[in-house]
Amino acid sequence: MPVYLALLFLFLHVFPAPSFALQQLDPVVLKAAVDNSLKAEGRKLGDYALFDQDGDRFMLSEYFGKGKPLVLSYIYTSCPEVCPTITMELKRAVDGAREKFGDRFEVLTIGFDAANDTPERLKRYGASYTDSFEGFRFASGDAETIEKLLADAGFFNFRQDDGSFDHMDMATMIKPDGTVYRQVFSLRSQPQNLAMRLDELIAGKAAVSDSLTLVDRIKFFCYRYDPQSGKYVLDYPVFVSIALQAVIIGAIVYAVWGRRIGRWMKRK
């Protein structure tokens, strides 16, 4: 058996395929999720019936055609730590943008846990961050509607067995006509990017291109809820998986090409 096949055989038996839940955190899956989010840019959102924190029903299309961009963010109200941090940073970024642009944009936060994100819970959650829901609304809908909306907008989430979610840390910038403009990732660590995108849409500044590495993409998912500690923790299995794959790939490359590279270097 060739050396590289022996290494591959060893890898598959010593490090078997992870469970379905861990597969959701596999780097390949994470990269695909971010790629899917980026593919939503330029897509015209469909129309969806939602209800807000006061229980009032409205259509998403009511935001469009009024000349105002829409900031779409995503949370679930039972999230103990990460979603509150996301919303806090979002609110700070929005407050800063309000000083510059006033009411020239809208903010809508979607509760994606359709079964539990009731108007009462949305209002209680939202009241922790804003005294007025005017221009900073919280909303959800039935499970089918929310699933379609999230797919349309390019938002990834996965429910764990304990009821918590692995999900992206992102907001979606929507043009006044209802077209997805840009995804804004990592609100917890880079909330300033939200103001940058609003500058592009409202003030007409030139768009800034993003170059996302695989590590950048993985960072959007690297925290998971630990039911024992009651907190979100760094998801070390993701990074261990990356390291193991890098070692195995490096070993295979060396086994196949190592001698040839050595001979080539000697010739030099």
| pLDDT average, residue stretch 248-254 | 65
Domain boundaries, the chain: 3-20+235-267, 35-212
Whole-number Å distance between alpha carbons of 105 and 18 = 44
Please give the residue that has the higher pLDDT: either 16 or 39: 39
Whole-number Å distance between alpha carbons of 268 and 259 = 14
* Bridge partners for 167 per DSSP: 157
Asked whether 141 and 49 are in contact (CB, 8 A), the reply is yes
- Phi-psi map region of 243: left, alpha, beta (phi>0 left; psi -120 to 50 alpha): alpha
Crossing angle between the packed helical segments 236-267 and 27-39, to the nearest 10 degrees: 100
Whole-number Å distance between alpha carbons of 76 and 93 = 20
Whole-number Å distance between alpha carbons of 168 and 158 = 10
Q: What are phi and psi of 234, to 5 degrees?
A: -60, 130
| pLDDT average, residue stretch 15-41 | 63
Residues 111-133 have pLDDT tens digits of 999 999 999 999 999 999 998 89
Residues 48-105 have pLDDT tens digits of 999 999 999 999 999 998 999 999 999 999 998 889 999 999 999 999 999 999 999 9
Say how many C-beta atoms besides its own lie within 10 A of residue 155's C-beta: 24
Residues 136-188 have pLDDT tens digits of 999 999 999 999 999 999 999 888 888 888 888 899 999 999 999 999 988 88
- In this prediction, residue 29 has a pLDDT band, given cuts at 50, 70 and 90, of confident
Which pTM was predicted?
Answer: 0.70
Quick one: pLDDT at residue 182? 93
CATH architecture assigned to 35-212: 3-Layer(aba) Sandwich (3.40)
Whole-number Å distance between alpha carbons of 113 and 118 = 9
Residues of the chain with pLDDT > 90, as a percent, come to: 46
Pairing assessment for the beta strands 106-111 and 136-140 based on DSSP bridges:
parallel
